[in-house]
Amino acid sequence: MNNATKTALVTGASRGIGRAIAQRLAKDGFTVIVNYAGNAASAEETIQEIIAQGGHAVAIQADVASEADVSRLFLQAKAITGQLDVVVHSAGIMPMAKITPAGLADFDKVIHTNLRGAFLVLAHAGEAVSDNGRIIALSTSVIAKSFPAYGPYIASKAGVEGLVHVLANELRGRNITVNAVAPGPTGTDLFFNGKSDEQIAAIAKLAPLERIGTPDEIANVVATLAGPDGSWINSQVIRVNGGFA
Ligand code: NDP
């Protein structure tokens, strides 16, 4: 399989892990659709970096939790080269809230963006991706940790993992793989925001490799799933976390 004529849509690709995935898939030869929510300048930076490396990329704004936006995103994405081979759903948020009555607003927010968003993106991906294609959603290794205040976020990502397994079954017969990649702590805004240096250092020590991961290290695994070497990996959650288990 040659990636050179293939197209990949990456949600949440203006920053962080999504950006690293977009850059890596572009390097692997995919034409990349860079989705973002509101940060147009950051999405443009992703595009310019890809173009500077000789790749092809186009930015499309869409809120992954909006039905109208996601329909338009897939229509526009498919129109660019006429086909869609890979969808990577990386867009996500991580508000912290304890399981108390006061936490309901954050729970609603993260379920709306992370779980409704995943449902919409996976639903359209299932229809739009060509036979033999690949669908990959980002989950999280923190599900196994059950840290206080991660309840809403963990609930949203546990839901994402459930959707991935079911969609893999629903797409039987089309040779499309559907998997989740579940990073441990990774150096992006989502991880750093709201944490002190001491908290970051303590979290970094949790994995036996005693550091946080880089977005590129997550992108490497997504690229494997998206490329020829991923052909027999289906309906799996791959935890990429330096042993933070
Ligand atoms: P960042 O905060 O660095 O980037 C988030 C990205 O998602 C941005 O591109 C942002 O767009 C986009 N986004 C946010 N909300 C929406 C929305 N409603 N519609 C469309 N795009 C949206 O996050 P990370 O790169 O760290 O996280 C990527 C994924 O990896 C997430 O699903 C996260 O849960 C998961 N993950 C991250 C870990 C980490 O430690 N970083 C660990 C485990 C999992 P814009 O720039 O326009 O705001």
For the stretch 235-245, pLDDT in tens is 999 999 999 98
Please name the residue whose Cα sits nearest to atom 10 of ligand 1.
Answer: 12
**Among the listed residues 31, 82, 96, the one whose alpha carbon sits nearest the alpha carbon of residue 58:** 31
pLDDT band at 155 (very low <50, low <70, confident <90, very high): very high
Q: What was the pLDDT predicted at 5?
A: 82
Report the share of the chain in percent with pLDDT over 90: 98
Ligand 1 binding pocket, CB closer than 6 Å:
11-18, 35-39, 42, 63-65, 90-94, 113, 117, 138, 140, 183, 185-186, 188-191
- Nearest C-alpha to atom 32 of ligand 1 is from which residue? 92
Indicate the top mutation candidate among 23, 188, 217 to test ligand 1's pocket, ranked by most ligand atoms within 8 A of CB: 188
**Structure tokens that stand for 119 in this block:** 């449902």
Domain range 3-184+214-240, CATH class: alpha beta
User: For residue range 26-77, what is the model confidence (pLDDT) as tens digits?
Assistant: 999 999 999 999 999 999 999 999 999 999 999 999 999 999 999 999 999 9
Q: What is the pLDDT of residues 11-24, one digit of tens each?
A: 999 999 999 999 99
Residue 81 carries which DSSP code? H
SS3 86: strand
| Dist. CA 160 → ligand 1 center (Å) | 14
Say which residues have a Cβ less than 8 Å from residue 96's Cβ, sequence separation at least 6: 106, 149, 150, 153, 194
Q: Mean pLDDT of all residues in the chain?
A: 97
pLDDT at 3: 57
Classify residue 100 by its DSSP letter. Answer: S
How far apart are the CA of 57 and the centre of ligand 1, in A?
19
Measured from the Cα of 215, ligand 1's closest atom is 25
Q: Is 150 a catalytic residue?
A: no
Give the model confidence (pLDDT) of 211-236 as tens digits: 999 999 999 999 999 999 999 999 99
Q: Are strands 86-89 and 7-11 parallel, antiparallel or unpaired?
A: parallel
- Do residues 18 and 1 touch, judged by C-beta distance below 8 A? no
SS3 33: strand
Task: Out of 36, 153, 191, 244, pick the active-site residue.
Answer: 153
pTM over the 0.85 mark? yes
Rounded to the nearest angstrom, the distance between the alpha carbon of 173 and the centre of ligand 1 is 32
Please give the pLDDT value at position 4: 58
What is the pLDDT at residue 46? 98
User: What's the average model confidence in pLDDT over 139-161?
Assistant: 97
Q: What is the pLDDT of residue 1?
A: 41
- Which residue has its alpha carbon closest to ligand 1 atom 46? 39
The structural domains of the chain, with segments of one domain joined by +, span 3-184+214-240
